[in-house]
Amino acid sequence: MALPVAFFAVFFAYPVAAITARGLKSDGTWRFGRIWDVLAQPDIRHVLWFTTWQALASTALTLLIALPGAYVFARFDFRGKQVLRAVVTVPFVLPTVVVGTAFLALLGRGGLLDELWGVRLDTTVWAILLAHVFFNYAVVVRTVGGLWSQLDPRQEEAARMLGASRFAAWRRVTLPALGPAVAAAALMVFLFTFTSFGVVQILGGPTFSTLEVEIYRQTSEIFDLSTAAVLTLVQFAAVGAILAVHAWTVRRRETALRLVDAASTARRPRGAGQWALLAAVLATIAVLLVLPLAVLVERSLDAPGLGYYRALTSDEGGLFLVPPIDAVGNSLRYALAATAVALVIGGLAAAALTRRDAGRLVRGFDALLMLPLGVSAVTVGFGFLIALDEPPLDLRSSWILVPLAQALVGVPFVVRTMLPVLRAVDGRLREAAAVLGASPWRVWREVDLPMVRRALLIAAGFAFAVSLGEFGATVFIARPDNPTLPVAVARLLGRAGELNYGQAMALSTILMVVCAVALLALERLRIGLRSDRTGEF
C-alpha cells in the first residue's frame, strides 16, 4: 500500500488541499465564513440547483431509454450481438469533448437538424440531457443487463404459472432482484452527470453551468479562488455521499442473489412483441448513439479533398505553437505514460485489497480510490500548477505533469478491473507454491500473473482510453507547444471560423476512432476472459 498511498497523497490530496487552502485563507487566517457567503449568492444557488436537477433528469431519462436495451442484451440472442455491445459501449469511453462536438454537429448551428428542419437545440437543456443519455447508455446496459442475464428466468415463469400476469410477475419477482443493480447504475449515472464538464461547456453555452463548469469559470476567467474552493468542497461532499450509497448498493448486489450462467438465459426473440422490442432498441441505438457519431464524421469530411484533415498539418492559424495534428502524437505518448503509471499504482492497490486480513483502513482506501472520478478535475489540474511548482516537486514545466493527472483517472479503472480476478485466485495455490520454496516474486509470476494477464490487458486498455480523453485537468497543464487532443478540440471550437470548426470535427473523429479501436480490442479480451473462467469483467 505504500506506493499507492504516497502517489494519491502527493498528486491528489496535496494539490486539492493546496488550492482549497489558498482559496479559504487570507493573511494566514482561515475564512470559513466565506463558505456561507458564497452559498448565499443567488447565482451560485442557481448553479447548485441546475447541477442537481439536470443530473436527476439525465438519470431518469437514461434509465427510461436504456432499461429496454438492458433487457434485450440480457434475454435475447441475435446475430451481431457482441459487435453491437461494443458499439453501445463506445460512447462511454469517448472523451466528453468529442460527445459535445458530435451533438453540436447534430443539434447546433449548421447541424443536421438545422439544415433539414431549421431546428437548433444547442444552448438548450435538451441538448445537454440527450448528450448525457448518449454518454451513459452503456452504464445501464452493462450494469443492469449483466445482472439481468444471470437471473434465473424460471422464478418469473413460476409466478406466471401461479396466475400472476406478465407485469405482476416482473414487478414482484424480477424488479426486486434487479433493484440493487438499477440503483447502482442510477447512482453512477448521477455521479457522471453531476460532475459533467465538457458536455455542458460545449452545448450549454453561457446560459447553463454545472458545479464543474463554474469552478473552471471562477478559476480561469474570474480568478476568484475563494469561490472555486467553496464549490470544490461542496462537490467533494456530494460525491462522497454518492460513493457511500453506491458502495452500499454494490454490497447488496453481491450478497443477495443466486445467479445462473448468463449463456443459458438468452434466447432468440419469439413472437411479434419481442421482435418489435428488439427493433425498437436497435432503432434507438441507431438514432441516439450512432447518428451523432456519423454526423461528426460527415462534418469532418465536408471540405473538398479532406481539406479539414490537411489543415491540421499547418500552424498558420496561430492557435497553437505547433500544427494541430501534433496533438495526436502528444496524446498517444501521454496516454501510454499515464497507462504505465496507472497499472503500477492500481495493480499494487488491487493486490493489497485482495488480502483476506485487510483492515478497515485498507478497505477505506478502496473507496478513496474512486474519488478522482468525482472530485473536480479542474481543481486537480489547477492544484498541480499551484502546488507542484517548488523543489523537490517542481514539475510545472515538466511533460510528466500531464500523464500524472491522467493516471489519477485511470487508477480506479485498473483497480475495479483487476480486483475481482485477483480475489478469485485460490489462496491455497499461493501457499502451495510457497511451501515448495518459491519466493513471493515467483509466486506472483507463476500463480497470479497467468490468471490475471488478460484482466491486466483490459485494465491497460481502459486506462489508456480514459487517459486519452481526460480534459478537465489537462486543460490547465497542457502547454501550447504540446496540446492534447481534447484540449485542441476545445480550443478550436472556442474560436470562430468555419476552418476551426472543421478542424475540431476532424480531430474529434481521429480521437473517436482511436478510442473505438481500443474498445473493440477490449471487447475481444472481455470475451476471452469470460471463457477462461478466471473472472467476469
Kindly report the pTM of this predicted structure.
Answer: 0.79
Contact by Cβ (8 Å): 485, 468: yes
Q: Which residues pair with 248 in a beta bridge?
A: none
Lowest mean pLDDT among 96-110, 418-432, 464-478: 418-432
As a whole number, mean pLDDT of residues 12-25 equals 83
In this prediction, residue 528 has a pLDDT band, given cuts at 50, 70 and 90, of: low
As a whole number, mean pLDDT of residues 476-493 equals 83
> CA–CA distance from 146 to each of 74, 82, 108, 223 (Å)?
7, 13, 35, 45
Cβ count near 310 (within 10 Å)? 13
Domain spanning 309-356+414-537 has what CATH number? 1.10.3720.10
In this prediction, residue 63 has a pLDDT band, given cuts at 50, 70 and 90, of: very high
pLDDT tens, residue by residue, 400-409: 889 998 999 8
pLDDT tens, residue by residue, 224-272: 888 888 888 888 888 878 777 766 766 555 444 444 444 456 778 888 8
In this prediction, residue 529 has a pLDDT band, given cuts at 50, 70 and 90, of: low
Q: Which residue has the cell 457567503?
A: 37
Give 296 or 472, the one with higher predicted confidence: 296
The string of DSSP letters for 252-283 reads HHHHS-----GGGT-B---HHHHHHHHHHHHH
Q: Is the pLDDT of residue 291 over 70?
A: yes
In this prediction, residue 56 has a pLDDT band, given cuts at 50, 70 and 90, of: very high
Contact by Cβ (8 Å): 341, 403: yes
Dihedral sign (CA 14, 20, 21, 27): positive
> What is the average pLDDT score of the chain?
81
pLDDT at residue 80 in the model: 82
